[in-house]
């Protein structure tokens, strides 16, 4: 009688372990850019993937992942305050960044006085050119 019970316990433990290994990483942020350059949507995941404009997620480089994680850390304060900066004359593009802590919305002109927002714009541009570009 002990063998079937032990075998059943082993199988149950293996199933539980297999379930634990399929853990999904949380998303860092969802960045949306609208304006003259067209719409861009980036969903960046803590595990090192990015989804561009709703397409299938792709793995990003370690350097880009570190940049995204640093950016997310730097944006937490603004997100928790739900920072919203209105469009101003001369705005070409408008950004919205959604995070677990809140949402940030700002025009491209805000980057001149908010270095973290400038970093978000640069990340979007780099991601669009490198991670979102079609394979050549």
Q: What is the pLDDT of residue 134?
A: 78
Hey, where are the domains in the chain? 25-130
Separation between Cα atoms, residue 86 and residue 83, nearest integer Å? 10
Annotate 102-114 with DSSP letters as a single string.
Answer: EEEEEEGGGGGT-
Residues 6+ apart with CB under 8 A from 48: 25, 59, 60, 62, 65
CB burial readout 74-100, b (16+ within 10 A) else e: ebeebbeeebebebeeebebbbebbbe
The number of helices, as runs of H, and strands, as runs of E, in the chain is 3, 6
Q: What is the pLDDT of residue 2?
A: 60
Expressed in angstroms, the distance from the first to the final Cα of the chain is: 62
Contact 96, 104 (CB under 8 A): yes
pLDDT in tens, 2-51: 665 565 555 555 455 445 555 678 999 999 999 998 999 999 999 999 99
pLDDT in tens, 41-81: 999 999 999 999 999 999 999 999 999 999 999 999 999 99
- Is the pLDDT at 119 greater than 80, yes or no? yes
Q: What is the pLDDT of residue 104?
A: 98
Separation between Cα atoms, residue 57 and residue 110, nearest integer Å? 29
């Amino acid at each position: 009688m002990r063998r079937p019970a032990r075998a059943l316990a082993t199988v149950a433990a293996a199933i539980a372990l297999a379930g634990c290994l399929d853990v999904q990483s949380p998303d860092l942020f969802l960045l949306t850019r609208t304006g003259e350059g067209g719409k861009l949507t980036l969903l960046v995941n803590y595990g090192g993937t990015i989804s561009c404009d709703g397409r299938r997620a792709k793995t990003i480089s370690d350097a880009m992942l570190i940049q995204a994680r640093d950016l997310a850390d730097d944006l937490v304060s603004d997100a928790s305050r739900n920072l919203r900066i209105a469009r101003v004359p001369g705005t070409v593009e408008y950004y919205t960044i959604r995070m677990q802590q809140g949402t940030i919305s700002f025009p491209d002109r805000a980057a001149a006085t908010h270095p973290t927002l400038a970093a978000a714009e640069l990340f979007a541009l780099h991601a669009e050119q490198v991670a979102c570009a079609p394979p050549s």
